[in-house]
Amino acid sequence: MSPSAVRRSLASRGASRAIWPATWFVLLMLCVWGFPYADGLLRVLEPDANQVVYQRASLASLLLKHLFVVSVAAVVTIVGGVLAAIAVTREWGRDFLPMVAQVASLGQTFPPVAVLALAVPALGFGTLPIIVALVLYGMLPIVRNTLGGLQDVDKDIKSAATAMGMTPWQVLRQVELPLAAPIILAGIRTSITINISTAAIGATVGARNLGDPIIAGIVNGNMAYIIQGALTIALLALTVDSLFERLQERLRSRLFTS
C-alpha cells in the first residue's frame, strides 16, 4: 500500500471515530441538564420515595468539582510519573528503576478507601485526601507505560541520532518521547479514566463531587439518586476515554505517515 493510501485509510478511520467523543458529550450534557426535569421518569425507579431528583447540589456544579479533583490529580500524576520514568531510564538513574517501579505499584496495592482512611486524620476532610488517593492509585499505569515506551525505542535509532551530533536532551525530546508518545498516552488514558470513577468515593470524606448522589442514594435506599450519579460518572468516563482514543489515533497516524 502506498503512503498516500495509508494516510487516506488512517484519515477515514479517524473521521469515522470522531463522532464518538461528541456523542458521549451530548449524552453527558443531557443527563446533567435533563435529570432535574425527569421526576416522572425517575419515579418509576422509586415510586414510594418522597423525592427522586437529587437537589442538594446541581449535577452541573458537582460535575465541575469532579473534573477539578480528577484534573489536579492527573497533572500531579502525569508530571511525577513521566519525570520519574524518564529519570530511571537515563544512565545516571538506572539504579533507581526497581525502586520507582515498586513505589508506583505500591499505590494500587492499597484500596482507595484505605488510603482515604489513612489520609483523613493527617489532611482532614474534604478534597485533599481524595486527590492524594487518586495520585497514588493512578501512578502505576503512567509509570509502567512510560518505562515501556522509552525502553522499546530502538537502540539503533538512538545511536544514529547521537552520531548526527544530537545531545542526550535532544535525543530524548526529538526521538525517544515522540516514538514513545502513543504508549505513554495509553497509560495516561487508563489512569485518568479509572480515576474518574474512583473519585466518587471522595464523597464519603466530604469532597463534593458526582459521588454525592450515589452516597446519598445508598444511605437513603434511593435508587434514583444512585442512577443520577452513576450514569453521569459513566458518561463522563466514556467522553474522556473516547477523546484519548482520538488523540492516540492521531499520534499513530503521524508516526506511521511521517
Position 15 confidence tier, pLDDT thresholds 50, 70, 90:
very low
Give domain limits for the chain.
3-257
Q: What is the mean pLDDT of the chain?
A: 86
Provide the residue type at 76 as one letter.
Answer: V
More confident residue, 132 or 7: 132
Give the number of C-alpha atoms closer than 13 A to the C-alpha of residue 175, restricted to the C-beta side.
20
- The arithmetic mean of pLDDT across residues 110-134, rounded, is 83
Q: How far is CA 242 from the centre of its chain?
A: 11
- Give dist(CA 187, CA 145) in Å, integer: 5
**H-only helix segments in the chain:** 3-17, 19-34, 39-42, 59-88, 97-109, 112-123, 127-151, 155-163, 168-171, 177-198, 211-220, 223-257
Give the number of C-alpha atoms closer than 13 A to the C-alpha of residue 195, restricted to the C-beta side.
34
Position 143 confidence tier, pLDDT thresholds 50, 70, 90:
very high
Q: What is the pTM of this model?
A: 0.86
State which CATH number among 1.10.760.10, 2.40.110.10, 1.20.120.420, 1.10.3720.10 fits the domain covering 3-257: 1.10.3720.10
More confident residue, 22 or 12: 22
- The arithmetic mean of pLDDT across residues 140-151, rounded, is 93
pLDDT in tens, 157-190: 888 988 888 888 999 999 999 999 999 999 999 9
- Give dist(CA 7, CA 252) in Å, integer: 11
Position 4 confidence tier, pLDDT thresholds 50, 70, 90:
very low
pLDDT in tens, 54-85: 988 999 999 999 999 999 999 999 999 999 99
pLDDT in tens, 200-244: 998 888 888 999 999 999 999 999 999 999 999 999 999 999 999
Using the 8-state DSSP alphabet, how is residue 221 labeled? Answer: T
